[in-house]
Structure 1
Amino acid sequence: MRIECIAIGTELLTTRRLDTNSVWLGERLASLGLAFHRKTAVGDSHEDLAALFREALTRSDLILTTGGLGPTFDDFTKECFAEVLGVELREDAQSREDMLAFYAARKRVPPESNFKQALLPVGAEALRNPVGTAPGVWWQDPKGHPGVRIVMMPGVPREMKRMWEEQVEPRLRALAGAPTHTLRMVVAGVPESALDERIREVRQRHGDLDWTILASLTQVELLARGADPAALEAARADFLPVLGEDLVGLGAGNLEDAVLEDLKARGETLALAESMTGGLLAARLTAIAGASEAFLGGATVYSPRAKMDLLGLPPDLLAREGTVSEATSRALAEAVRARLGATWGLGLTGNAGPGTEGKAALGAVFIALAGPDGTIAKALTLPGDRADVQLRAAASALDLLRRALRNG
Structure 2
Amino acid sequence: MAPLKSWLSIPPDSDFSLSNIPFGIINSKNNPTEKRPAIAIGNHVLDLKAFSKANGFSGLPSLKDPLTIFSQPTLNVFAALGQQTHNSVRTYIQDIFSESTSNPQILKDNASLQKEALLPKHETKTHLPMQIGDYTDFYAGKNHAFNVGSMFRDPANALQPNYTHLPVGYHGRASSVVISGTRIRRPNGQILLDKTASPPHPILSPCRNLDIELELGCFLCASNPLGTPIRIGAEAEAAIFGFVLMNDWSARDIQTWEYVPLGPFNAKNFGTTVSAWVVLPSALEGFRVEKMQNGTGVLPHLREARDDSVYDIQLEVDLTTPEGDTTNISQVSGKHLLWSFPQMIAHHSIGGCPMNVGDLLGSGTISGNSERGGDLGSLLEACQGGKKEIMIKGMDVRKFLKDGDTVTIRGVCGEDGARVGFGECVGTIESAIQV
TM over 0.5: no
Give the TM-score normalised by structure 1.
Answer: 0.24
User: Looking at both structures, which has the greater relative contact order when contacts are Cα pairs under 8 Å and sequence separation is at least 6?
Assistant: 2
Q: Which has the larger radius of gyration?
A: 1
User: Relative to total residues, which structure has the larger helix share, 1 or 2?
Assistant: 1
